[in-house]
Homo-oligomer: A and B are copies of this chain.
Amino acid sequence: MKSKQYKTSIIGASGYTGSELARILVNHSETEIVSITSESHQGKKFSDLHAQFSGILDLTLISADEVDVAGLDVIFLALPHGVSMEFVKRWQDSGVKIIDLSGDFRLSTPEVYEDWYKKSHTYPRGFEQAVYGLPELHEKRIKSATLVANPGCYPTASILSLAPLFQSGKVDAKGAIIDAKSGITGAGVKASNTTHFSNVNDNFKAYGIGNHRHTVEIQEQLSFLLKKSVYLQFTPHLLPVDRGILATAYISVEGAMNQEKLDKMYQDFYNKKPFVRLRNQAPSIKEVRGSNYADIYPFWDDRTKRAIVVTVIDNLVKGAAGQAVHNMNLMLGLEESTGLNQVPMQP
């Protein structure tokens, strides 16, 4: 394989985010993975952890301490929150561009972080430079960022669902309800009662009712759009599927509204956004599986005077690794959809 223009490293090999970044990056025309790290598996091959990469990506895993930052253009932090901030601290002044897939720098301040994540933040300075990496909202700032906080999976679907309406100003700041459903990969690669097949298969449940930490991430971004403080209801549920999030968002709308106006509002907002597909019927999560698309269906219910917006994404792609590559493309000045041409895999 010939060497490519930009060099990247993935910090954290064992999780789904790490393997999904690799899945996308091995076929990216402009960048090359030069190292992947794992503290607990160093010395093994990447394909020993993720057998699907046998013969495709057999790179030997190294410790993060061995990463030569000087030779890198971009570092992806595919680490748990709380851990990630330490690596941002270590590398933020090195000149390398950092894309952090954890929740450590997504919120506005360390105080909000500590309030919802229930742990202290050890690198408050990171917040000064971190840009929230949702390209549909912050493209310009992402292009010049050195630290991007890649959005959470639920927030990606939820914010995209409601952004046009909140920007329009025609909604009640306290009126939104987001009922969201995620595949099990959202719970991570770790074996637990929650992820045991027999507790998931043919099953379904709600969790984190009233206190899921993605609530505040959504609120902050919608507040930015509405220009006042937003409080909303967010309820996540666990689907017996591997990948995919579907968010059903409900909001009353002030003033005259109809289906045509609603469609127009969404078309205007998402004009020229390559990964948003506005749909005219309710999409299913498999229609975006494996791809970076967010399919959005805005519906006006004239009987109840509510907008109901259904959005589907692949939580590992648009909700994590794909969006991270999108951010990388923007940060490197590449065409924004480079390497992100995966067709959704249905069936």
Chain A residues proximal to chain B, CB less than 8 Å: 16, 19, 22-23, 26-27, 50-56, 174, 177, 179, 181, 183-185, 189, 191-193, 195-207, 209-210, 231-233, 235, 237, 239-244, 246, 248, 250, 277, 279, 282-291, 295, 299, 301, 303-304, 306, 308, 310, 312, 316, 341, 343-347
* Contact indicator A250/B233 (Cβ below 8 Å): yes
- Given known pairs A242-B347, A250-B233, the reply for A201 and B210 (CB within 8 Å) is no
Task: Give the chain B neighbours of A306 by CB distance below 8 A.
Answer: 233
- Given known pairs A198-B242, A290-B290, A290-B345, the reply for A210 and B301 (CB within 8 Å) is yes
Q: A54 is contacted by which of B201, B286, B287, B341 (Cβ under 8 Å)?
A: B287
Q: A192 is contacted by which of B22, B183, B191, B288 (Cβ under 8 Å)?
A: B191
* Contact indicator A201/B209 (Cβ below 8 Å): no
Can you list 15 contacts pairing A with B, beta carbon distance less than 8 Å? A16-B347, A26-B343, A52-B287, A52-B345, A54-B295, A177-B177, A179-B179, A189-B196, A195-B198, A197-B240, A199-B284, A199-B286, A202-B202, A203-B244, A242-B347
* Contact indicator B233/A308 (Cβ below 8 Å): yes
Which of A16, A196, A283 is the most central at the interface, judged by chain B CB atoms within 10 Å of its CB? A196
Task: Give the chain B neighbours of A195 by CB distance below 8 A.
Answer: 191, 196-198
Task: Give the chain B neighbours of A279 by CB distance below 8 A.
Answer: 51, 54
Q: A239 is contacted by which of B204, B209, B210, B291 (Cβ under 8 Å)?
A: B204
* Contact indicator B23/A204 (Cβ below 8 Å): no
Q: In the bound complex, how far is the Cα of B216 from the Cα of A303, in angstroms?
A: 12
Q: A282 is contacted by which of B209, B233, B288 (Cβ under 8 Å)?
A: B209
Q: In the bound complex, how far is the Cα of B183 from the Cα of A282, in angstroms?
A: 18
A-B interface, 7 closest residue pairs, ranked by CB to CB distance from nearest: A198-B347, A205-B284, A52-B344, A179-B179, A210-B301, A191-B191, A197-B200
Q: A277 is contacted by which of B54, B184, B206, B284 (Cβ under 8 Å)?
A: B54
Residue of B nearest to A308 (CB): B209
Residue of B nearest to A301 (CB): B210
Q: A310 is contacted by which of B55, B193, B206, B347 (Cβ under 8 Å)?
A: B206
Say whether chain A's binding surface is mostly helix, strand, loop, or mixed. loop
Q: A196 is contacted by which of B191, B301, B343, B344 (Cβ under 8 Å)?
A: B191
Residue of B nearest to A194 (CB): B191
Task: Give the chain B neighbours of A243 by CB distance below 8 A.
Answer: 202, 347
* New A-B contacts (12) at CB < 8 Å, excluding given A201-B242, A239-B240, A290-B345: A23-B343, A51-B284, A51-B287, A52-B345, A52-B346, A177-B177, A184-B198, A191-B192, A199-B286, A201-B240, A209-B301, A240-B241
* Contact indicator B341/A197 (Cβ below 8 Å): no
